[in-house]
């Protein structure tokens, strides 16, 4: 249970995401992660996970975003749940998730992402250029045929907890004025400010 007066924005997010899942909102489990690469913003869609009660992201350590995350103090995570008319903008630091947790979850992934993680690891780092899609498919077949039916995760399958410092929640209000709140960590608790929407 939560109320609009709830001072904990992460609890509010949890309730909003649960409602979005119940409404089959395609964004219920997604977010946009923004990082900075040599001064330029880089945004991409990722699955926003709940791991041990914390927000989390899974990725491959060969990817550009991993280097951008590890070189920065903060990242930005955005999600818009259209079914609830709610946007969250989260400024967060990141903490590596223990490999044992990531790798246990990794076992439940479908075959193609599993093979791709091994492909990144041994053949071509994620987001690098390949000569053609046919070349990529040949690489994929090589990994697929040599990889066990139930493989372990490569060391490069990693994850980060998202530790929110500031959360902005915008609730669209139809014919009324939207409700915009900013929650910031102050003295170990959440301070709530109302913003002009």
Ligand X SMILES: Cc1cc2nc3c(=O)[nH]c(=O)nc-3n(C[C@H](O)[C@H](O)[C@H](O)COP(=O)(O)O)c2cc1C
Which residues of the shown chain bind ligand X in the complex (CB under 6 A)? Answer: 30, 42, 44-47, 58-59, 63-65, 126-127
Least distance in angstroms from the C-beta of 60 to ligand X: 6
Between the two ends of the chain, the Cα-to-Cα distance in Å is 26
| Comparison of 51 and 181: residue with beta carbon closer to ligand X | 51
Least distance in angstroms from the C-beta of 51 to ligand X: 12
Q: 109 and 115 in contact (C-beta within 8 Å)?
A: no
| Comparison of 36 and 172: residue with beta carbon closer to ligand X | 36
Least distance in angstroms from the C-beta of 27 to ligand X: 9
| Comparison of 65 and 121: residue with beta carbon closer to ligand X | 65
| Comparison of 47 and 130: residue with beta carbon closer to ligand X | 47
Least distance in angstroms from the C-beta of 153 to ligand X: 13
CA separation for the pair 63, 27 (Å, rounded): 23
DSSP codes joined into one string, 57-109: EEEETTSHHHHHHHT-S-EEEEEEETTTTEEEEEEEEEEEPPHHHHHHHHTTS
Q: Using CA of residue 196, residue 45, residue 183, residue 172, what is the dihedral sign?
A: positive
| Comparison of 120 and 183: residue with beta carbon closer to ligand X | 120
Beta strands (DSSP E) in 129-195 are 157-171, 179-186, 189-195
Least distance in angstroms from the C-beta of 22 to ligand X: 19
| Pairing relationship of beta strands 54-60 and 49-51 according to DSSP bridges | antiparallel
């Amino acid at each position: 249970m939560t109320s609009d007066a709830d001072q904990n924005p992460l609890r509010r997010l949890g309730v909003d995401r649960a409602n979005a899942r119940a409404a089959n909102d395609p964004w219920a489990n997604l977010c946009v992660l923004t990082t900075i690469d040599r001064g330029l913003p880089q945004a991409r869609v990722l699955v926003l996970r709940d791991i041990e009660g914390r927000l989390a992201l899974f990725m491959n350590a060969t990817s550009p975003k991993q280097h951008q995350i590890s070189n920065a103090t903060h990242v930005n995570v955005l999600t818009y749940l259209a079914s609830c008319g709610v946007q969250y903008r989260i400024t967060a630091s990141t903490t590596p998730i223990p490999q044992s947790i990531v790798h246990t979850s990794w076992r439940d992934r479908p075959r193609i992402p599993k093979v791709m993680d091994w492909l990144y690891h041994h053949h071509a780092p994620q987001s690098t250029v390949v000569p053609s899609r046919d070349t990529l498919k040949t690489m994929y077949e090589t990994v697929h045929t040599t990889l066990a039916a139930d493989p372990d995760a490569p060391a490069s399958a990693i994850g980060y907890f998202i530790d929110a410092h500031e959360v902005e929640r915008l609730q669209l209000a139809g014919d009324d004025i939207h409700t915009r709140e900013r929650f910031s960590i102050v003295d170990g608790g959440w301070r709530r400010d109302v913003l002009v929407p």
